[in-house]
Amino acid sequence: MEERIVFHVDFDYFFAQCEELRNLDLKTKPVAVCVFSDRGGDSGAIATANYLARKYGVKSGMPIRFAKKRLEGVKDAVFLPTDFDYYSEISQKAMDVMKEFADVFEYVGRDEAYLEVSKRTEGSFVNAAHLAQQLKNAIRYSVKLSCTVGISSNKLVSKIASDFKKPDGLTIVSPDKIETFLDPLPIRSIPGIGKKTEEKFTEMGFQTISELKKLDVFSLNSQFGRKNCFSC
């Protein structure tokens, strides 16, 4: 039986990268794309920021006023409102490119998708690496966007892998390397584990995935409950 191979494709700082497409001057400036609230002024939060802005500590979810404080004194910093219609248009073009590379395609959101590629790679991770690079090149040529790809035998590890080397990265985790790859990562690397849950694990003395593996299900239930979702 051929090995199952799954790509998780994640576009780098998607909203800000889209803004750079229509204004090339933004590529050399710290850019933050903002979701402004109805209260006016600087109320609202950062949707995403390019990597120049991130060097100053600006990140997704940060209140706009805090982000402006971080970029205070940076004369060429740019704050832009979201343009979801435009982002959706760019996203659709990129998704159409990705579909051509997939046995099975799963849309997740404007900036990410899963691709099952087991058949066309013949279950080979070497072939998968070549296919992923071809995909990245095709997206860059057709849509002018960079993306990061994580490759493994399942969706969860692929998603974690796509966040491992950013931007414009490619991380391959073959089945025999999964434990080695995951063990040293912080618990927060697991999708769905948020800040509060991470803090709780830290209080319990667990900081890495390797350490978390030592925790039995009964202890988890007693701390978080059976129905708890690690998204808090």
DSSP class of 76: T
Q: Which of 19, 20, 112, 198 is catalytic?
A: 112
Q: Is residue 112 annotated as part of the catalytic site, yes or no?
A: yes
The full DSSP string for the chain is -PPP-EEEEEETTHHHHHHHHH-GGGGGS-EEEEEE-TT-TT-EEEEEE-HHHHTTT--TT-BHHHHHHHTTT-TT-EEEE--HHHHHHHHHHHHHHHHTT-SEEEEEETTEEEEE-TTTTTT-HHHHHHHHHHHHHHHHHHH---EEEEEESSHHHHHHHHTTSTTT-EEE--GGGHHHHHTTSBGGGSTT--HHHHHHHHHTT--BHHHHTTS-HHHHHHHH-TT--TT-
Cα 221 to Cα 228: distance, rounded to the nearest angstrom: 9
Q: State the catalytic residues.
A: 112
